[in-house]
Amino acid sequence: MIMLVFLLCSCSTNKEKKETEDEKTTEVKDDKPVEIKIKRLEYKDFSYELISNGTIAAMHKADMRFQSQEIVRKIYVKNGLQVVQGQQIAELDKFKLEISLSQAKESLERSRLDLQDVLIGQGYSISDTLNIPAEVMRIAKIRSNYEQNLNNYVIAEYNLDVATLYAPFAGVIANLTVKEFNQPGEDPFCVLIDNQHPEVVFNILENELPLIHLNDKVIVSPFSMATFTVEGRITEINPLIDKNGMVRVKAIVNNKDDKFYEGMNVKVRVQRLLGKQLIIPKSALLLRTNKKVVFTLKENRANWVYVETAQENSDSYVIVDNGKLNVGDSIIYEGNINLAHESPVRVQD
């Protein structure tokens, strides 16, 4: 019985050893050296990356509207035009507005005379308002219709002033569809967008919330221009988790190259520095029989090493220090796809 157990254990050990050897010789060895590239394994600053999709939103955006429905006399801008603060955008025909102001002014003058007559009838002079009781002045203004005509004058003056649209801040004109000599309609005349420092709005998962903080660096790139990237900083983390378990985050980026537009879809990478870590290039890690493998260079041959990884970003993995790799090891990161254990290799110059 003891002999049988010994034989079974011996067979099991030999089988596991054979499987390990088979894994290391999955790829056929070739006597011709494979050209490779290597990097020395060392501790480096590692930035953890959280990847999300987001949209561009202007930090300042204004729907420009006229306060009255007079005919548009002149338009000074067009879609896509950059304007400065205070620049004229468009103006209405002011004829009716000027007439309304003149009529309101005349009515106000008549009310002032009527007010004077009422006060004189009460034994007061309008030039000596400090000695007129407040209640007497209130009743006199009601009888002379002074307050109502004063309000009408202020409104008429305001309507004339806002008959010309001015840019409240520097930005770019968008959604301008109205033509000259037409009424502006109920929709905004145009939209003014500040594109210089747009916001990036994106969502993260609830369990990712502890990984980000205000002022963390973000790298943003449009889906339509994957090679173009800009840096920004997180400025806002909404303290509310929605029904889908998502948290809304905002970051500000610089748009000095005018590549970002309102509503544009972008890829967002949030980077947080985790300090010195043992890292390898992503291309150095391979999967062999569902196990993570790295090849190191030893005596002009590839050495198969099983590894464990922790965090990752767009170009690197953090290696768990389990004694299988050491600082200074030569990690093969290019030319390693078809290597087997102890394959002959040659480092490219």
Summarised one tens digit per residue, pLDDT across range 150-176 is 999 999 999 999 999 999 999 999 999
In a domain, 14, yes or no: no
Same domain, 259 and 314: no
At 5 the pLDDT is: 40
Residue 213 has pLDDT above 70, yes or no: yes
Closest CA to 70 of 53, 90, 89, 41: 90
Same domain, 71 and 184: yes
Q: Could you read off the pLDDT of 225-242 as tens digits, one per residue?
A: 988 999 999 999 999 999
Mean predicted confidence (pLDDT) in 190-198:
93
Same domain, 321 and 293: yes
Residue 183 has pLDDT above 50, yes or no: yes
Same domain, 218 and 178: no
Please identify, among 239, 260, 275, the residue that sits at the C-terminal boundary of a domain.
Answer: 275
The more confident residue out of 280 and 31 is 280
At 345 the pLDDT is: 92
At 214 the pLDDT is: 93
In sign, the C-alpha dihedral spanning 272, 276, 277, 283 is positive
The pair of three-digit structure tokens given for residue 289, joined into one six-digit string: 């029989």
In a domain, 1, yes or no: no
At 229 the pLDDT is: 93
Of 65-79, 125-139, 298-312, which gets the smallest average pLDDT?
A: 125-139
Please identify, among 106, 136, 160, the residue that sits at the C-terminal boundary of a domain.
Answer: 160
Same domain, 335 and 289: yes
What CATH number should be reported for the domain holding residue 229?
2.40.30.170
Same domain, 88 and 122: no
How is residue 28 annotated by DSSP? P
How is residue 181 annotated by DSSP? T
Same domain, 88 and 72: yes
Q: Report the amino acid identity of residue 321.
A: D
Residue 278 has pLDDT above 80, yes or no: yes
Mean predicted confidence (pLDDT) in 84-98:
96
Whether this prediction's pTM lies above 0.85 is answered by: no
What CATH number should be reported for the domain holding residue 87?
2.40.50.100
Domain hosting residue 115, numbered range = 95-160
Angle between helices 134-144 and 95-121 (to 10 degrees): 130
Please identify, among 275, 303, 326, the residue that sits at the C-terminal boundary of a domain.
Answer: 275
Mean pLDDT of the chain: 88
